A and B are shown apart, each in its own frame.
Chain A
């Protein structure tokens, strides 16, 4: 329960304090940055500050950051996405590994089957097989789990010619 409360985007007192502190600090930093970049060096010498970084960096660092963001966001990231998409003749365009289990909508009433492999000599007389074949031994789950529809059936329903047309 306390975990759920932390994930909401609602305003809280601690967030308000963080926000105000960040606002003050960023505003101060911006004002200092503009002062350092604009005011001529002789004024700094007059006050006594002699050890400051070169003004070149006031322009170079923002440009470096912007170039890196541009390069990544417009070239590298779309290229990674394009490399990741499967080809036309790849089976991943149709399905993936989430479609392996049978009997999605049904679960057994009794969960006392503790041996999964049948070792009977005669499969027709195997009690477990007979039990699993009867549909009355299953009960439907309340909410059916997500399953993949067969692509052939989907195509047939969507694109076949309707008899009424």
Chain B
């Protein structure tokens, strides 16, 4: 089944940390809205993997032939493990899929795999742009206000917290979501 996807917004800009991000909003069949924010990397991930493999190989070599003492080798191993952990859990892309009477699906894509979160349409009260204090800086985050009927309390779910687009991108996202809601 082929869906009629129409790209309604496409913009490349910088996010809060200075990295280059790409914002793409597409409408599927006039019923579903998909918002994708992904990092534009200059393909440096492959270089990092090659460098890491080289370091591991040299480490094993030096351990076997006792070029470096065992203490240094263990320390290098721990540092390499830490770097691998950082690289594997780097966020590549964040997606929000809005289907009108069904709900919101929020996905975060890592290097391997993704994590998803779903919010039903009845639970959503509204979407707004919030100003939050984070590490001695005030940033704008687009958030969903939900009513959790089980606990009878309002809950706040912020979107795009890992990619952190700036206000112009957030305004565009907000206007498209408003258009979808109304």
Minimum CB–CB distance for B35 against chain A, Å: 15
Interface: B141 (CB within 8 A): yes
CB-based contact B129/A85 at 8 Å: no
Q: Chain A's interface: helix, strand, loop or mixed, by majority? A: helix
How long is the Cα–Cα vector from A158 to B153 in the complex, in angstroms? Answer: 26
Interface: A50 (CB within 8 A): no
Interface: B83 (CB within 8 A): no
What 1/0 mask marks residues of chain A from 150 to 165 whose CB sits below 8 Å from any chain B CB?
Answer: 0110111011110000
How long is the Cα–Cα vector from A158 to B147 in the complex, in angstroms? Answer: 24
- Among A38-46, A90-98, A104-112, A129-137, the stretch in contact with B: A90-98
CB-based contact B134/A94 at 8 Å: no
Q: In the assembled complex, which residues on chain A have CB atoms less than 8 Å from the CB atom of B126?
A: 152
How long is the Cα–Cα vector from A122 to B178 in the complex, in angstroms? Answer: 42
Complex partner residue of B132 from A93, A156, A159, CB under 8 angstroms: A93
CB-based contact B155/A89 at 8 Å: yes
Binding site for A on B (CB under 8 A): 125-136, 141, 143, 145, 153-158, 161, 170-171, 174-175, 178
Q: In the assembled complex, which residues on chain B have CB atoms less than 8 Å from the CB atom of A18?
A: none
Residue of A nearest to B171 (CB): A159
Q: In the assembled complex, which residues on chain B have CB atoms less than 8 Å from the CB atom of A78?
A: 136
Minimum CB–CB distance for A158 against chain B, Å: 8
Minimum CB–CB distance for B29 against chain A, Å: 23
Interface: A88 (CB within 8 A): yes
Interface: A119 (CB within 8 A): no
Interface: A80 (CB within 8 A): no
Given contacts A151-B130, A152-B145, A155-B128, A93 and B156 within 8 Å (CB-CB): yes
Minimum CB–CB distance for A30 against chain B, Å: 37
Interface: A120 (CB within 8 A): no
Q: In the assembled complex, which residues on chain B have CB atoms less than 8 Å from the CB atom of A93?
A: 130-133, 156
Q: In the assembled complex, which residues on chain A have CB atoms less than 8 Å from the CB atom of B135?
A: 82
How long is the Cα–Cα vector from A37 to B130 in the complex, in angstroms? Answer: 58
Residue of B nearest to A89 (CB): B156
How long is the Cα–Cα vector from A82 to B137 in the complex, in angstroms? Answer: 11
Minimum CB–CB distance for A153 against chain B, Å: 9
Residue of A nearest to B170 (CB): A159
Minimum CB–CB distance for A129 against chain B, Å: 25
Minimum CB–CB distance for B140 against chain A, Å: 9
How long is the Cα–Cα vector from A82 to B156 in the complex, in angstroms? Answer: 20
